[in-house]
Structure 1
């Protein structure tokens, strides 16, 4: 009986060890509401593969002039990361922008996105994990995306 129990426990431990690692979640907060999501797109750079999860695209209403606070876990901030975004300016033209690149030693776990005064509507916010190929070439390896409802 003891031998059977040891075999069952060893098998269970092996299965747990083989489980896919959990993906870090990014939290977007605006106007008293928040949503958290895993990566919408991940690139397996070593194998040249792309993994998409369209269900990971989250929506959050953001009133004009209100900031969006973004919180990333240590699992992500231990890598280089940045924020990109798109919005409609006062004339209704689409404008794309981005934050600085946050490096692992920065200790940066949050970012507040505030659009210029007079902006009409935030369209999309994307947190991007950045890896450096050969130690020098920056490449985005994952995206966490939030859009505002139409």
Structure 2
């Protein structure tokens, strides 16, 4: 399992414990080098985290990326209306698995993001759009962490 899915599973457990029903599910579109794929949510909750769809581990998109082209990500208003970010795994030239993340985008500030790879020849392997919910939990550093209320997953083929 990829590290990007761990927060998703924690939110899924919270949602199932709350006796959730299914809210409407927006799709996120990933685009690169003339190819696009619209991906269903692997998990989606209402903003309060009270009503959640059942987890769908099979809801993983696949997209072939050519060379060093960027990955463009488009999110609908239902996603952009809450804080969201992009997390990703990539492989460096030496084969080492590395991870990164975009800044957290504030509600309604943007509906798209372009993921540029580092200039060292790294290859992107896995991307996840994560929408934050209003569910709070105690952070490991003593602060507060927001739960992941929605997650859209993409595996990249080279």
Q: What TM-score, normalized to structure 1?
A: 0.76
1:149 Cα deviation (Å)? 2.7
Please state if 1:99 is matched with 2:107: no
2:152 to 129, 144, 150: 144
For the pair shown, the structure with the greater C-alpha radius of gyration is 1
Q: What TM-score, normalized to structure 2?
A: 0.72
> How many aligned residue pairs are there?
130
Match of 2:50?
Answer: 46
Equivalent residues in 2 for 1:42-121 (5 A)? Answer: 42=44, 45-46=49-50, 51-106=54-109, 108-121=110-123
Structure 1: gaps of 5 or more residues: 1-19
Match of 2:126?
Answer: 124
1:105 Cα deviation (Å)? 4.2
Alpha-carbon distance in structure 1 between the residues aligned to 2:37 and 2:108:
27
| Contact 1:64-1:119 at 8 Å conserved across structures | no
SS of the aligned residue for 1:75 comes to helix
SS of the aligned residue for 1:53 comes to coil
1:43 Cα deviation (Å)? 5.4
Structure 2: gaps of 5 or more residues: 1-21, 137-143
SS of the aligned residue for 2:128 comes to strand
| Contact 2:32-2:70 at 8 Å conserved across structures | yes
| Contact 2:23-2:53 at 8 Å conserved across structures | no
Alpha-carbon distance in structure 2 between the residues aligned to 1:87 and 1:145:
14
The root-mean-square deviation of aligned C-alpha atoms, in Å, is 2.5
